[in-house]
Structure 1
Amino acid sequence: MQINVFSIEKKRDFQKEIEEFIKKSKPFANVKDITLYSNKLSKTKNPQKEYTNIFEKYTNSGKNIILTPDGKLIDSYEFAKLLNENQINFFIGGAYGFEEVFKKKGINISLSLLTMSHKVAKLVLFEQIYRALTIKNNHPYHK
């Protein structure tokens, strides 16, 4: 199983912690942290459109899961059920969120009713990916 996490970031935070979850996930899946950024973001009047332009080419294969505050709230067991294809792509946008046209390219979920920075959301996502893989593989971490 291939799991790709695409995010918009200029500066990477929580890298040590994220790499630890990637390492722990290796027995179950190949998990990648793919950080993208465009210099156009600092100059654009429509950052949502620019997020779509950056991510568009990565939505053509596998299951797309888009993190958005207005997405469906699910628990860790429901999250684990989403990991049911050979390739899963997660998308974390920046502070302005995604255009509606981009949200239609996948399943929309929310990690919490709380507002959090995309960097914190990314760390939470990697922990939940690991947790979901342990649930699917009857590993005791999730208990």
Structure 2
Amino acid sequence: MQINVFSIEKKEDFKKEIEEFIKKSKQFANVKNITLYSKNLAKTNNPQQEYSKIFEKYTQNGFNIILTPEGKLIDSYEFSKFFEHSLVNFFIAGAYGFDEDFKSKGVNISLSPLTMSHKIAKLVLFEQIYRGLSIKHNHPYHK
């Protein structure tokens, strides 16, 4: 199983913590942290559209999950069902979020009704990936 987390970042925060969750997840799946950035972001009047352009080619294969504040709230058990797919892609935009066209390319979820920076959301996502894989494989971490 392959899990990819795509995010827009110039500088990565919480790198050590994220790497720890990736390491723990290795027993269940190959998890990748893929950070992307475009110089065009600093120049654009439409960052949502630029995010979509950056991520577009990664939506062609696999099961796509797009993190959006208005996405569906789910619990960890429902989240773990995403891992029934052999290739799962998660997408985290920057501060401006995704345009409607990009949101239509996958399942839209929200990690919380609270507003959090995309960097904090990313850390929470990696913890939930490990928790979801633990649930799927009946590992005691999730209890």
**TM-score interval (norm. to shorter):** over 0.9
User: 1:135 aligns to what SS in structure 2?
Assistant: helix
2:137 is aligned to 137
User: 1:116 aligns to what SS in structure 2?
Assistant: coil
How big is the shift at 1:131? 0.1
Report the residue type matching 1:114 in the other structure.
Answer: L
| TM-score, length basis structure 2 | 0.99
Query: How do residues 32-111 of structure 1 correspond to structure 2 at under 5 angstroms?
Result: 32-111=32-111
For 1:76 and 1:86, locate their aligned partners in 2 and report how far apart those are by CA, in whole Å.
19
1:121 is aligned to 121
Gaps of 5+ in 1: none
For 2:83 and 2:135, locate their aligned partners in 1 and report how far apart those are by CA, in whole Å.
11
For 1:121 and 1:59, locate their aligned partners in 2 and report how far apart those are by CA, in whole Å.
20
User: 2:84 aligns to what SS in structure 1?
Assistant: coil
For 2:64 and 2:138, locate their aligned partners in 1 and report how far apart those are by CA, in whole Å.
25
How big is the shift at 1:83? 1.4
Same amino acid, percent of matched pairs:
77
User: 1:70 aligns to what SS in structure 2?
Assistant: strand
For 2:4 and 2:82, locate their aligned partners in 1 and report how far apart those are by CA, in whole Å.
14
1:10 aligns to 2:10 (yes or no)? yes
| TM-score, length basis structure 1 | 0.99
How big is the shift at 1:82? 1.4
Q: Which runs of 4+ in 1 moved over 4 A?
A: none
Backbone CA RMSD of aligned residues: 0.3
Report the residue type matching 1:28 in the other structure.
Answer: F
How big is the shift at 1:48? 0.2
1:23 is aligned to 23
Gaps of 5+ in 2: none
Q: Deviations over 1:4-63 (max 9, x none)?
A: 000000010000000000000001000000000001001100000000000000000000
Report the residue type matching 1:128 in the other structure.
Answer: Q
